[in-house]
Structures are given as structure tokens and as C-alpha cells.
Structure 1
């Protein structure tokens, strides 16, 4: 029988919330540009965090400011690219492509930290790549990536960097303070990107305003929970839990009327398999590492 700690249950809960955000963001993109929306979303989330935990907003450490800003930068890039992609691809596609960040994590660690991936990580990458081929080009069975799909894949790289940074800093910071820094800096970086991308401030609309407020609250809860839970849940265990996020997004998308072709659904399933397989470890390996 599976047993979950309260930290793991918290991650499962935010994964469901996370899966439901894709449709909301997609609706907001009909009246707003990606950089502006992401900026307002994260600034709102940061302000909510500061208000909820105002007593803890004292004594910021250098690690919290510098590390939190670095994570905020990855948030701005990741969510900006994902939001841009949602202008042209379905929420289900976006969710499954974003999930590629899990097999990307060990590859990124290899490139940056010099830690070669384990065998199962390579197996997971193969599953995820085959899934990508089917999801991105289900009719031809080959990759024919659109700009939205390319942006979302790059988003997955940014999310992988975010997960690595959070895992490295989680035990050295106050979860509430670094969450505030992450969100506020992510919002500022996103708004600063507007002149670079040539994006103008949109006319006021209750659609983007309501979505930004709701997504701001969701982002606050998601980031705070990730920082808090990953003090007790290993990156390996956390990423397996996060693998459920695209599944929930697919469920919500289907309820909303999205219908992926059969081969695309197979590709989505293979991506999820790749996500899970990439985090599996032989029992001997787990004993050698003290178990994760």
C-alpha cells in the first residue's frame, strides 16, 4: 500500500492545481501578451506572499536574495516561453512538452555540474524523445516543430534549471522569504523583457486581470509549497510526483473539449513513462546512495 508523507501530499495537491493553470493562461493569452501577463502574475504572487508572511520578511540573507533572484530569472524565462507557446498550441500539448524537464534535469546536471546521467536516466530520455516525436508530429511520425512547441521545449529546460536550483538551496534558506524573492524578481524580469520582445501593454480586460490574480495566488501556493516540501522530499521523489502534472492538465483539457490524435496521446503517455523511468533506481544503487 502506498503511503505518502504530508510533504508529498502537499506536492500532489499543487500538481493538480498546476495542471489546471494551463487552460486559464491560454484564455488570458487572447487579450494579453506573454511577458506582461507573466510579469503581472508573478508580481501579484510576490505581493500576496509578502502580505501573508509579512512577519517573516526580515533578515534576508545573501543566499536568499541572490539564489532567489536566480530562480526568479528561470521562472521568468520558463513561464514566459510556456505562455508564448500557449498562444498556438493546446494546453494538453503544452503540459506534456513542459514535462520534458524531468529527463532534461540529469542532462543539465551533466553539462553544468559534470555529473553523468545514470542508465535509467538515458532510458527515460529515449522514451521522452520518442514521445516528443509522436506528440509534436503525430501525423507524419516525425518532428515538425512549430514555434509554440519549440518555445515550450525551451521552457522545459528553464524549469529543469529551476528544480536544480531549488533543490540546492532548499535547506539553506527560509521558504517564505526566498519564495517572495523568486516571485517578485520573476515578475520584474518578465516586465523588463517587454521592450526586448516588442510587446506593448494591453488594454485593460477583466479576463487577463482575473487570470493574473488567480494565477498569482496559484503561483504563490505552488512556489511556497515546493520550497517547503523539498526540504523533506528528495528531488528524485519530487520529480516523480510532478510527473502527474501533465496528466491532470490533459484531463482538464479533455473536459474543456481538447482532443489530441491517437498517436499524440501515445506520445504523451511515452513522455510520462520517460519522466517516471528517468527517476527509477536499482535497489543496489539506492542503498549505495543512502536511499532517496
Structure 2
């Protein structure tokens, strides 16, 4: 996703690329709208969509000023937002999750070159807005998923429609109505290779991923989902290395290992010690 978006943005305005991407993503959902007009679907989808709008805007702007792989790892800091917000709201967060967050932050620091010769740049800080937007998106989706009558498909439909509308407005505001239309025509006129790229980015890595995320939030805690989300940059870095020639050396590999370890840690089932059995055993020995 990060790699292909960066490739598209090298030749076209980022607002027009975003409008095309989310416009394509909305197409398969349009016939389903009449079946999902209930209040909860609209409310949850629009709110979550607006948090995503903020995240995706920061992603599009940040990728203009930083590497695709680096931007992806910074965006993965969304995993920190959920447990911190839950803790501030008085909810209990397992020590296991905090340990996973620490591992993932360490991995992100390695990938961002913190402490090395190349420090953060403006694009890195802009990508930090993506982490905030996506983190709050996970937090709110986690809350909605627990409500009676929540519908993953309905929420996704209104989420994608909100994103598509917002990105079209951004393109019009950035380029003007005529300029945005001209840019879109130019974008789609590039031929089958670009159509395939837009189809992949729109249908699979946007529409498909957003639905799967929403469906999964009914079954996975928001804090766990945020840490699992941190694995996205590992794949982004590998694709960026293969397609864009961005570096992937020992430091990048170490960061990837730490982040994947964090994801695994969230899924480990730590069995609590059965105190009653121990008491029974000790009483038996005493007898």
C-alpha cells in the first residue's frame, strides 16, 4: 500500500491519487447502501471514517517527504495510542500488551534512524498524525463493536463512503474543480498498468482491508489489534526495498524482528497459576 501510493504520487498530485484510490474502493459498496441505512451503521461508519480521513491525509502528505518504509513504521505507532487512551479512561491494560508496545516502539526507532546519522524529518512528523488517526480509529471501532446490533459490513460501507467524499473534496480544494478533473483524466489515461495498480490499492488493500479490520474488531481487543497492525510496515519495507530500491539492511531487519515479536507477544496465552490446586496439593502433603 505505502509503496504503490508513493509510486502514484511521484507523477500525480497526492489529493487526486487519494480521491481515485478511495473512489475505486467505494464502488463495490454502492449497491449495498440501501440495505445498511440503520442509525448505528451510519453513525459508527462516519465517525470512524473521519478518523481515517485524518490518518490517510497525514499519510499522503507525509509520504511526499519521507521514505515509504520509514513512513510506514512511524504510522505503526498507532499501536501506542490505543493502550494509552484505554489507560487514561481507567480501563485495565495487560502488562503483556505494554511489553509488546515497548518492543514495537524499539523496532520503529531502529527503522526511523533515531540515534543514527539521519534523524527525523518533517515527513516523519506528518506521518505521526497517521498513527494518531488510526489509533483513535481502532479505539472507537473497539467501542462500537461491543454495541448490540453492530454490523461490520454496514460500518465499513459508511466508513469508505466518508473517506471517498472527503478525498474528493480535498482534491477539489487542492487543484480546483477543473484541475482535479483534468488530473483524474490524466491519471486514468496512463493505461492498463495504472488501472491494475489502482484496482489493487482500491479494492484489495483499501476496501478489503478496511472490511476485514472492522470484522476482526468484533473478536479482538482494540489494544491487541493496534499492535498486530504494527506488522504492516514490515511488509511495506520489503516491497519498498524491492520496488523503489530503498535500503533494507541489518538495522531494518532488526526493527522488523522486534515488531513481529511484539505481534507474537500479544497472541501468547499466558496461563495463570491455579492457586486452588497448589493449596490442595500442599494440604495433601501436610496430611
- 1:4-52: CA deviation from partner (whole Å, max 9, x where unpaired): xxxxxxxxxxxxxxxxx1211011111223333223322321222223x
Change (3 A) 1:126 1:175: closer
- 1:66-114: CA deviation from partner (whole Å, max 9, x where unpaired): 2111111111111121122222322222222222211321012234x33
Using CA pairs under 8 Å that are at least 6 residues apart, name the structure with larger relative contact order, 1 or 2: 1
Q: Does 1:103 align with 2:83?
A: no
Q: Residue 99 of structure 2 is aligned with which of 123, 129, 141?
A: 123
Which residue does 1:254 correspond to in 2?
Answer: 241
- 1:204-262: CA deviation from partner (whole Å, max 9, x where unpaired): 22359634443221211111222223333444554454343222222222322321353
Q: Does 1:38 align with 2:13?
A: no
CA distance in 2, matches of 1:45, 1:120: 36
- Residue 198 of structure 1: how far off its partner (Å): 7.4
Q: Residue 66 of structure 2 is aligned with which of 79, 83, 89?
A: 89
CA distance in 1, matches of 2:35, 2:2: 34
Q: Residue 270 of structure 1 is aligned with which of 244, 258, 265?
A: 258
- Asked if 1 retains the 8 angstrom alpha-carbon contact of 2:77 and 2:230, the reply is no
1:14-29 equivalences under 5 Å are: 21-29=1-9
Unaligned 5+ runs, structure 2: 274-287
Q: Does 1:162 align with 2:142?
A: no
User: Mean alpha-carbon deviation: is it higher for 157-166 or for 200-209?
Assistant: 200-209
Change (3 A) 1:67 1:259: same
Change (3 A) 1:225 1:146: same
Which residue does 2:285 correspond to in 1?
Answer: none
TM-score (norm. length: structure 1): 0.74
- Asked if 2 retains the 8 angstrom alpha-carbon contact of 1:120 and 1:281, the reply is no
CA distance in 2, matches of 1:24, 1:220: 15
**Aligned residues, how many?**
260
- Asked if 2 retains the 8 angstrom alpha-carbon contact of 1:125 and 1:278, the reply is no
Which residue does 1:58 correspond to in 2?
Answer: 35
- Asked if 2 retains the 8 angstrom alpha-carbon contact of 1:121 and 1:279, the reply is no
Unaligned 5+ runs, structure 1: 1-20, 286-292
Which residue does 1:217 correspond to in 2?
Answer: 203
